Amino acid sequence: MTRITLKLPRPVDRTTPPKPLTSRARRAQQLGHRASTPVPQPPAAEPVKAPPARAPMHENPEDPRLSKLMSERGLCSRREADEWIENGWVRVDGEPVTTLGVRVPRDAKIDIDAEAKRHQGEQVTILLHKPVGYVSGQPEPGYQPAIVLIKPENRWAEDPSPLRFRPTHLRNLAPAGRLDIDSTGLLVFTQDGRVARRLIGQDSEVEKEYLVRVEGTLDEESMALLRHGMELDGVKLKPAKVSWQNEQQLRFVLREGRKRQIRRMCERVGLTVTGLKRVRSGGVPLGSLPVGQWRYLRRDERF
């Protein structure tokens, strides 16, 4: 028998072999691979924290607080001192202090930034002729505080100050002293802590002058008691200047301002006060300022 060998055709590979890449295609492929590969990023830097405000190195419990010392030196009020410290306007012995309540040596060198002095220079002091029936400070039931009278329409037409009224002049404006609801006369309002401290600070020696209309009789012994030696609420009063202005009116000059002081002093010697008017604070007189009107303190005036 004849063996016949059949040759079967090889299976055809229908997949087309890839064509060789050109140099440009190969370069593009490499770049694409690099772009898709995430590039490791350096760890994010933590935010830089500002160094804490530095307090004086010699702080100890026996030293006064910085705001109190600034007030005692007449630089500003304690409220202003706190504001300046928070604003970074105060340096103690060359170091900035922005922390409230720190204590410093009494002989510490305190420097104030020019910005604080500019801020202080913009503060105003206002003189009001308070009428009877208005309270000096916080409102009371049925009565208004005298500050409501400080508005453009009540400004004295003859005010010599060149300042123009601005609503900001009412911000933080406070009475520097009291005047009873049934008294009239000069009432000082100020934004300047130095003025307030001079007028009502514990060590204030500023004279306040009053004209007091009275009923009753007054002998020499009682007059001497009004001038010196009287006590109120267990506290001895400072010497006062008391004299007759006319037959019905006394002139008082005090260097303190206790609550209803003159009325209580007069009651002690048998007098009844029927009218009380403050006509001067330090070197600043009430003058011809009309009742219910106000003016700015001039730059040349000093309490």
Residue positions annotated with a catalytic role: 180
| DSSP structure class, residue 107 | T
Do 164 and 48 form a contact (C-beta atoms < 8 A)? no
Cα-only R_g, the chain: 40
Q: Are strands 272-281 and 184-190 parallel, antiparallel or unpaired?
A: parallel
Q: Indicate the helix (H) or strand (E) that contains 112.
A: strand 110-112
- CA 3 vs CA 6, 7, 9, 22, 123: distances in Å: 10, 13, 19, 52, 128
Q: Indicate the helix (H) or strand (E) that contains 126.
A: strand 125-130
Do 126 and 150 form a contact (C-beta atoms < 8 A)? yes
Start-end of H helices in the chain:
23-36, 66-72, 78-86, 114-121, 193-200, 220-227, 261-268
Contacts of 42 (CB under 8 A, 6+ apart): none
**Core vs surface per residue 226-243: b (16+ CB within 10 A) or e:** beeebeeeeeebeebebe
Dihedral angle, C-alpha 233, 234, 235, 236, nearest 10 ° = 110
What token pair was written down for 42? 């350096």
Report helix, strand or coil for 298.
coil
Contacts of 88 (CB under 8 A, 6+ apart): 96, 98, 113
